[in-house]
């Protein structure tokens, strides 16, 4: 039997460690597999092995090369999916109410039976986290594997999003970011976790942990200019990441 969440002030979400992610795409493959078998309608793959493949992916990993004025370059792997924003613009613009945010845990979902495929939510999302399924012609997105996290029929250690369970580097963490004493909230506080594109004022629940300096390794810390400071300065890591994402 699957238990349903009680109404609380929960803010379930992900904390992604950019220092640990190795860009292996295991999370992408796991997400695709889980949501294709359990999403209701399979996530499309059109002409998967042809010259112009097209399909739906609810989680993607982008890789960026950081090139400082001095010293060697470095690569940052950046996983991206729905950030389950507190003030989700995709919910606001949806003309049918198909996009909605659950009061009990803060997860943003799409009721596909009400989706008319207009694409307004994709245009409103500043993170490019929406996926129009080319076969079903409805919008799909990360659900935080809501069909796993409350499922009493699977082992307790598996009641986390598929991407979190699969990540071989331990770069993805899941929990209640509305609870300041939760493991994920403590991790954000200790590591200076940050919002993506805070100027959008969407208040994303998901947080990112910046890459750490490679102290004691005898290497030039090529990321230092992007990490000090990491909050408001235009040349900080958040500023760099915003500029990089704007080119996707």
Query: pTM of the prediction?
Result: 0.84
Question: In the predicted model, is pLDDT for residue 40 greater than 70?
Answer: no
Alpha helices, H only, the chain: 26-38, 89-93, 120-124, 146-149, 162-166, 183-191, 224-227, 237-245
pLDDT at 48: 79
Number of residues written out for the chain: 248
Query: What ranges do the domains of the chain cover?
Result: 12-245
| Position 122 pLDDT exceeds 50 | yes
Reported as a pLDDT band with limits 50, 70 and 90, residue 136 is: confident
Closest to 240 in 3D by CA, of 194, 176, 203, 177: 194
pLDDT band (50, 70, 90) for residue 213: low
pLDDT score, position 5: 44
pLDDT digit string (tens) for 88-97?
Answer: 999 999 999 9
- pLDDT at residue 234, as a whole number: 56
- The CATH class of 12-245 is alpha beta
CB 119 within 8 A of CB 85: no
Largest CA distance in the chain: 58
pLDDT-wise least confident of 34-38, 71-75, 216-220, 243-247: 216-220
Q: Which residues contact 87 (CB under 8 A, 6 or more apart)?
A: 201, 202, 203
33 close to 184: Cβ distance less than 8 angstroms? no
Question: Three-state SS string across 134-161, please?
Answer: CCCCCEECCCCCHHHHCCCCCCHHHCCC
């Amino acid at each position: 039997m699957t238990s349903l969440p009680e109404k609380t002030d929960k803010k379930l979400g992900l904390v992604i460690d950019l220092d640990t992610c190795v860009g292996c795409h295991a999370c992408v493959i796991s997400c695709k597999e889980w949501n294709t078998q359990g999403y209701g309608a399979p996530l499309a793959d059109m002409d998967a092995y042809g010259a112009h493949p097209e399909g739906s992916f609810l989680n993607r990993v982008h890789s960026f090369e950081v090139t400082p004025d001095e010293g060697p370059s470095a690569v940052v792997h950046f996983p991206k999916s729905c950030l389950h924003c507190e003030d989700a613009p995709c919910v606001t613009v949806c003309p049918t109410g198909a996009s909605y945010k659950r009061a009990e845990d803060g997860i943003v979902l799409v009721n596909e039976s009400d989706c008319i495929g207009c694409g307004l939510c994709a245009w409103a999302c500043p993170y490019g986290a929406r996926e129009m399924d080319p076969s079903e012609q409805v919008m799909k997105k990360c659900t935080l594997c809501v069909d796993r996290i409350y499922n009493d029929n699977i082992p307790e250690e598996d009641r986390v999003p598929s991407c979190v369970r699969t990540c071989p580097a331990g770069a993805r963490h899941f929990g209640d970011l509305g609870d300041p004493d939760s493991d994920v909230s403590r991790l954000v506080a200790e590591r200076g976790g940050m919002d993506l594109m805070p100027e959008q004022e969407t208040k994303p629940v998901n947080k990112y942990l910046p890459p750490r300096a490679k102290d004691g390794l005898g290497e030039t810390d090529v990321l230092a200019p992007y990490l000090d400071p990491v909050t408001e300065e235009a040349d900080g890591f958040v500023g760099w990441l915003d500029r990089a994402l704007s080119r996707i």
